[in-house]
Structure 1
Amino acid sequence: MAESAANVFLETLRDLLVEETKFLLSVGGDVEKVKGDLRSIHALLMRADRGRHASPTLKLYISQLKDLAFQAENLLETYAVEIQSKKEGRKSLKEKFRRYICIISECYSVHEVGNEARDIMSALADLASKLESELGRESSPLSRQEYETRQTYAHEVEHDFVGMGEDIEILVSKVKDETRRRRVVKIYGMGGLGKTTLARKVYNHTDLQSYARAWVCITQQFQPKAVFGEILRQLDSNAGQIDGMEDRELVTRIQSFSEGRKCLVVIDDIWKNDDWEIIRKAFPVNCNVILTTRSENIANQQSEPHKLKFLTEDEGWTLLQKITDISPADPDLKSFEDIGRVIVSKCEGLPLSVCVIGGILRQKVHTLPEWRRVNVDMGSYLRRGEGVEEYKRVNQVLDLSYDALPYYLKPCFLYLACFPEDAKIETERLYLLWMAEGFISYQDKGPNESLRDVARRYLTELAMRCMVQLHEAKTYYQLDKFDSCGLHDLMHDLCSSKAEAEEEKFVKRVDASKYLTDILSPTQTRVVIPPSIGNSVSRLAISCDFNSTVSSVDGLEEVKGLRSFTLLQKFFGTPNIGFKENTIDFKMSQYLRIFVADCCEFEGGMLPSKLGELIHLRYMSLRGSNVRELPKSVCSMPYLQTLDLRVPFPAVIRLPNVIWKIKRLKHLFLNEDIEVIGGEKLRLDGLQELETLDKITSETCCIADIPRLISLQRLCVAVCDVDSMSTVLSNKNRQLRETRVWVKSCDLCREKDMEVLNDGLMTPSLLTLQMERCNMSGRFPCYKQGMCQNLVSLELAFCKVKVDVVEFGKYPMLRELALCEVEIAETLTFHPNSFPQIEYLGLYELHDLRKWEVEEGAMPKLTSLTICECPNLDKVPDGLRSISTLRMIEITKMPRQFMERVNEEDCGPFV
């Protein structure tokens, strides 16, 4: 963790210094010295991590670095806010006191800041000297025992082997196929899936025994000469003495031997693409190579990927049966199977887990109570191993994945420990939290990229390393095709154990359901967290996986020094967790950067009074909570990046018209139903860094400000007048990537209004268009080249307009189309290749529709169809039968004759 700690602290300070240079007046030189020392320490700690230094002394130095970095960060931010306050020229001390009470109370002066900066600088210089001395000692390479543990061999026999038959056939056929252009196959997947087992089965396959073969296992400390020597020695039994050969000669000999021969080389457990680039030079184009790796990124240009899948439940049970030696004739076999399948499901298809639990059961007496006991204690056996040596295999396998992470990904991975097991983590929220924590580096930004783009790359890399599982979004987003992610249970255990380790104290997650009590009153359930849990942690995450109402969360009153507080509810709904004024002492956690209070019931619907004084806050989420009014002090949070005010419907939140003053605000989430204190529309014009604006309406927000938001990338807006619609649809902001528009009750009868709509449909960022109760002259705009090139969802409801539905079939990206009570032709014919991407089609209250034909090749991806109250439609089109993706047809409020025809048709089973 040395590298990741260094990276987080350095990035936070460096980014702060870049932003605040203009404020730091006479202490600027001292600050630059601090910055230089941090950079030097960063380099030293990267050396420590690569050299596998893990001495107690080094851990102590890292802890000291963290304390110094926090101290420097707090000093610089507080000072910068005070300087800005002075520049703004507040007229009265009383006014300044109201806005910056926490700053004035500390009464910093330039002289005092300079002294403190010099103290930090001196401590950092001393720390750098100690680190240099510690790293000057001999590094600690892999012990012989650890090296042997990691090695794999081709001749090892897999006694208990299940599944993979199809995988073996595919890979063997690829090796034998001499016409293949690329002769490298990459088997990749999560640690413990059986990549080495599969490679060994292929290597030892009877059809490949005539091949010259070599098997080498690559450790994370790659030594090219040793690898080349081992390959040559196994391929060519007549190679002679090779110990004295140099790398170049070994490569030449391998190439020479492999030319014109049938060869197979397995490179097992390769971790870095750079290592592969060195190894691959030894092989001629005709040499078959199989790589096993945990990273999808390895050898992308040269290899054919083969992703290994998790075991099915049947395969898992078969494997468990083999390992435990349960007799097929056992009279209790059915009962053993019932328990065994539960055990297998907890292993989530990971063969390594099944093997470990099977090994434990094999050592015990085969009785149903013993199996039930193991089932109950699965967590202990797989995670902590209580008394069982077998469990170390799981830890060793998964630890390697963590150790191999680059320094910038380690804190991102550890942060996932904030979320409970089996949680579906919203990628959008995760990106913004990573950014608020300072994990995302400004230096990694490419041209025209935002920090959010960098965060997405980080998550993608974790997924390609098979450490995180990405879930594809049901709704299309141009910025990201995945809307959530998660961890395999064992990977979550690894993450939690690393993050909560005593020496790390990266985060502490509390499962609130374990601390529910109604001891004081049967009608008032509380969460009472032991105070010791919150001691000495900078990040505290409380997860609430229950639906019961909780009157309060107690036990956090004495927690000091929190930098991140998250109270996460699994399901968003009615606020059900009481949050009192004194739940957290914000004075003792005045440097809080993240405050998440999902589904909380705040006293009187008001935020704790001290919350508005947290000038260091980056991320504040009140999602699903009962907050009725946001205090004016929110504009005193100069570093705030994300503000999430999505309170539950039908609640209305009252906002002071000061949000436009939060200059660094990047992501603002609102509900349509807001009330602006003072009666004016919500100003947005000062938010030059705003990237996300979701969800606003022209009734309460100043839509004319939107073109001034030069950094805006994502916009979700409801408009109720033509001028607002024109402003939104004619926005020429090149940064804008996603626009979602809901047009309500607009009168578009004038020709120029329809021209606005026509031009707006040419906007590349337009993803969603919903028009409801609009009065339009003539027809909906006909398709022309470039129109709706990224539109994925279109809904027209109760609009006075004539629609040519066939025209919509030309929209290249349209996935969802819903039409309700609009004027259409009596006959619809969907031609081949029309609606190429559509997945959902809804036809509601279309009284004109009489006949509908679907020709073969139309709607090739349709999965769901709804027909409701179309009384004159004669029947469901015969062409639907040829759409192989169709899974459901929902029919409501249709005539009896229509339903009788449906039941007679082949599509009946879908209805």
Structure 2
Amino acid sequence: MTKQDIIPIRSNFLDNKTVEEMGKEMVKCCEGLPSAILDFIGFMDIRKHTSWMEVRRNLESFVRMSQEVGTTLKSLTLSYDNLPHDLKQCFLYLGHSHEHSRIEAEKLYLLWLAEGLISVEDRGREEMLLNVAERYLEDLARRSMIEVHEDEVTTVTRFSSCQLSQQMRRLCLMKNEEQNFFKVVDFGCETQQVTGSSSSDRLSIHFDKYRRIYGFQIDHAEEKKIRCLLFSAKQSQHEFVWPQQLSSLVKFKYLRILEFVGISFQVTSLILEGIGKLVHLRYLSFRDCTLLELPSSIGNLKLLYILDLRVVNTMVIPDVLWKLKKLKHLYFPLSFKTRRAHKLRLDGLTDLETVTNLNLKMCDVEDLFELYNLHYLALSIPGSLQEIELIVKLMNMNSEARSLRVSLEVSKFDCYTEERLAALKQLLGCQSLIVLCFGGHISRLPLHEEISSNLAKIVLDGSELMEDPMPTLEKLPKLRVLILGNDVFAGKTLSCSAPGFIELRRLELLNLQYLEKWTVEEGAMLRLSNLTTVDCKKLKELPKGLLSVSTLQQIRVKGMCKEFKESISRFQDELTITIED
């Protein structure tokens, strides 16, 4: 490459003469080699905040560093080239995410699933395709293509999120562009950024800074081609005007994947008109959106596999979900209502594998007995003895046939009668139960031998236990999270013995007004990383036994007495300690 073939440098920072001089010096330092020059340009592109005058003063050093980066990228490219075809596409799917962001693992699996990237042939007996997808992610991590983060409690999946390093992200974007895999339009930058080309059939649009006019076009040929359409927004503004180019989704008639994240449909309600005509949809998500009512035309989407309704408001859901016979993964909002207070029908949805945030006030528990392929169920029960007995029956029935995992929230269930205590004992003994949040008077816990050994998270609220619960709970072999709140214990002393709580990672003691003393033997809680104490006003100090817990990383204290706060000073300097009044 000659000095006359200089690749233009961003000239808005420097005058043209300086740019030309730098270009000539760059070509000279790179010995005219196109690959070295491209390495340098790419290297500088990821150093957006570097002063170009600093670059000019130290040009030889910067060129040398860029060549090292270029060499690294070439070696990473070899890692990519050695991936099986399916894993290559799974890796490229990470390219639509924001820089430095963590990508939710379960969401990624669902997108892979909707794209048909997960091979049915890789599925074992009694496995979901989500489990196969997790193995794919683990394979990418084993090859050092991504970094994975384990979930605190394993419910559906083991990993909570994954992340690309800066170099891997650069490789991912480069390969995305080479293969026209994803087109990404990002309005979060001062100048609109577009990666990928119009020949891609996947389009991701980030509305991080809303505008009244959006300078991008989608032609008719592109509309017909697009199979995947992802919208996301971080900064909601009332004056937001939805782009005219996207005023109707019906023209994207071959869509298989449609995702909205953080969009307010109070401002852009018209966009959902005709959504029932997108009959090829496999994946539909309204995660973190504001949507007051789900369109009843959703019932027309007969091929839908995944429906995510986890909006931020209370949503009205019409009774049409029973029509979605292909549905495999259903995520309800935390709060929802039905029209005229009718219960939603779920009968006939025999392909369902995961159901989250199910509220039995709004759905008939009897319908759950027809969901033969159910692997994970997260639901809440509002203090009904009959419904608890039915859930126990469901868990016991499924435990004989398949590995059903259940997360259960029970509210306002006071066990003042032997009948209710017996129901609680049966519930705690269900091996399918992995998460239990229980609100209500208990008085006494069953023996630890009578409690499921699979429980990974327990939240007890207002139990008014007369006996110390720790000698029972510390023997549960898989317990990772324990939260005791609002006078769960009516006694004065909690005692944790060694080697109890062998898997506990997080412990929270909240508003235990009678608690005066807490002891922890050396050798107990050896994996504890996070500790929170709030409004335990009679508790004078942290247990000395916690000093031997080398894994302890964070202590949060709020509303505690002066002596308790002073006792924290014994702990290591490297701990993150948060003290609030």
TM-score per shorter chain, which class? 0.7 to 0.9
The 5 A counterparts of 1:372-771 are 372=55, 393-473=71-151, 475-501=152-178, 504-514=179-189, 535-544=198-207, 546=208, 548-550=209-211, 555-556=216-217, 558=219, 559-561=222-224, 562-569=226-233, 578-579=241-242, 583=246, 585-602=248-265, 603=267, 605=269, 607-648=271-312, 651-720=313-382, 721-730=384-393, 731=395, 732-734=397-399, 735-771=402-438
| Shift in alpha-carbon separation, 1:661–1:859, aligned structure 2, 3 A | same
2:499 matched to which residue of 1? 833
Deviation string, structure 1 residues 32-52 (Cα, Å, up to 9, x no partner): xxxxxxxxxxxxxxxxxxxxx
DSSP-derived class of the 2:274 partner: helix
C-alpha distance in 1 between matches for 2:140 and 2:322? 36
C-alpha distance in 1 between matches for 2:374 and 2:252? 32
Deviation string, structure 1 residues 109-151 (Cα, Å, up to 9, x no partner): xxxxxxxxxxxxxxxxxxxxxxxxxxxxxxxxxxxxxxxxxxx
TM-score (norm 2): 0.80
What is the CA distance between 1:607 and its match in structure 2?
Answer: 4.7
C-alpha distance in 2 between matches for 1:574 and 1:703? 40
C-alpha distance in 1 between matches for 2:216 and 2:390? 51
DSSP-derived class of the 1:596 partner: strand
C-alpha distance in 2 between matches for 1:761 and 1:644? 30
2:481 matched to which residue of 1? 816
What is the CA distance between 1:616 and its match in structure 2?
Answer: 0.4
What is the letter of the counterpart of residue 331 of structure 2?
F
1:510, 1:542 within 8 Å by CA — same for their partners in 2? yes
1:606, 1:629 within 8 Å by CA — same for their partners in 2? no
| Shift in alpha-carbon separation, 1:894–1:588, aligned structure 2, 3 A | closer
| Shift in alpha-carbon separation, 1:582–1:869, aligned structure 2, 3 A | same
Deviation string, structure 1 residues 57-81 (Cα, Å, up to 9, x no partner): xxxxxxxxxxxxxxxxxxxxxxxxx
C-alpha distance in 1 between matches for 2:56 and 2:327? 53
What is the letter of the counterpart of residue 317 of structure 2?
L
C-alpha distance in 2 between matches for 1:709 and 1:896? 54
C-alpha distance in 2 between matches for 1:679 and 1:379? 67
| Shift in alpha-carbon separation, 1:609–1:496, aligned structure 2, 3 A | same
What is the CA distance between 1:608 and its match in structure 2?
Answer: 2.2
What are structure 1's unaligned runs of at least 5 residues? 1-352, 362-366, 517-526
What is the CA distance between 1:637 and its match in structure 2?
Answer: 0.9
| Shift in alpha-carbon separation, 1:419–1:699, aligned structure 2, 3 A | same
Deviation string, structure 1 residues 495-523 (Cα, Å, up to 9, x no partner): 2222222xx3222122222476xxxxxxx
| Shift in alpha-carbon separation, 1:793–1:499, aligned structure 2, 3 A | same
What is the CA distance between 1:413 and its match in structure 2?
Answer: 1.6
C-alpha distance in 1 between matches for 2:238 and 2:421? 43
1:875 matched to which residue of 2? 541
Deviation string, structure 1 residues 518-555 (Cα, Å, up to 9, x no partner): xxxxxxxxx8x99x9873331111234x3x44457564
Residue 854 in structure 1 maps to residue 520 in structure 2: yes
| Shift in alpha-carbon separation, 1:593–1:578, aligned structure 2, 3 A | farther
Normalized per residue, the structure richer in helix is 1
| Shift in alpha-carbon separation, 1:554–1:587, aligned structure 2, 3 A | farther
What is the letter of the counterpart of residue 510 of structure 2?
Y
What is the CA distance between 1:580 and its match in structure 2?
Answer: 6.2
2:332, 2:358 within 8 Å by CA — same for their partners in 1? yes
What is the CA distance between 1:775 and its match in structure 2?
Answer: 3.3
C-alpha distance in 2 between matches for 1:850 and 1:587? 64
2:495, 2:520 within 8 Å by CA — same for their partners in 1? yes
Q: How many residues align?
A: 521
What is the CA distance between 1:884 and its match in structure 2?
Answer: 2.3
C-alpha distance in 1 between matches for 2:556 and 2:196? 52
1:591, 1:614 within 8 Å by CA — same for their partners in 2? yes
| Shift in alpha-carbon separation, 1:634–1:375, aligned structure 2, 3 A | farther
| Shift in alpha-carbon separation, 1:891–1:566, aligned structure 2, 3 A | closer
Deviation string, structure 1 residues 364-415 (Cα, Å, up to 9, x no partner): xxx9865446999x99999xx8xxx777534432221122111221221222
C-alpha distance in 1 between matches for 2:281 and 2:353? 18
2:557 matched to which residue of 1? 891
Residue 789 in structure 1 maps to residue 453 in structure 2: yes
The 5 A counterparts of 1:335-346 are none
1:775 matched to which residue of 2? 441
**Which range is displaced more, 886-895 or 760-769?**
886-895
The 5 A counterparts of 1:235-250 are none
| Shift in alpha-carbon separation, 1:493–1:868, aligned structure 2, 3 A | closer
C-alpha distance in 1 between matches for 2:87 and 2:311? 33
2:40, 2:63 within 8 Å by CA — same for their partners in 1? no
C-alpha distance in 2 between matches for 1:608 and 1:860? 52
C-alpha distance in 2 between matches for 1:616 and 1:426? 25
Deviation string, structure 1 residues 853-907 (Cα, Å, up to 9, x no partner): 222211112223333333443433232222222334433333445555x26x724
C-alpha distance in 2 between matches for 1:379 and 1:456? 40
Residue 864 in structure 1 maps to residue 530 in structure 2: yes
Deviation string, structure 1 residues 215-239 (Cα, Å, up to 9, x no partner): xxxxxxxxxxxxxxxxxxxxxxxxx
| Shift in alpha-carbon separation, 1:536–1:369, aligned structure 2, 3 A | closer
DSSP-derived class of the 1:500 partner: helix
| Shift in alpha-carbon separation, 1:844–1:607, aligned structure 2, 3 A | same
What is the letter of the counterpart of residue 455 of structure 1?
A
What is the CA distance between 1:437 and its match in structure 2?
Answer: 0.7
| Shift in alpha-carbon separation, 1:375–1:422, aligned structure 2, 3 A | farther
C-alpha distance in 1 between matches for 2:428 and 2:214? 50
What is the letter of the counterpart of residue 182 of structure 2?
V
What are structure 2's unaligned runs of at least 5 residues? 1-35, 45-49
| Shift in alpha-carbon separation, 1:505–1:629, aligned structure 2, 3 A | same
C-alpha distance in 2 between matches for 1:677 and 1:538? 37
DSSP-derived class of the 1:802 partner: coil
Q: Which has the larger radius of gyration?
A: 1
1:780, 1:802 within 8 Å by CA — same for their partners in 2? no
What is the CA distance between 1:357 and its match in structure 2?
Answer: 6.9
What is the letter of the counterpart of residue 892 of structure 1?
K
| Shift in alpha-carbon separation, 1:556–1:751, aligned structure 2, 3 A | farther
Indicate the percent of aligned positions where both proteins have the same amino acid. Answer: 32
C-alpha distance in 2 between matches for 1:381 and 1:627? 53
C-alpha distance in 2 between matches for 1:508 and 1:368? 30
TM-score (norm 1): 0.53
What is the letter of the counterpart of residue 507 of structure 1?
F
C-alpha distance in 1 between matches for 2:231 and 2:203? 9
2:182, 2:196 within 8 Å by CA — same for their partners in 1? no
Deviation string, structure 1 residues 629-661 (Cα, Å, up to 9, x no partner): 11221111111011111111xx22111101011
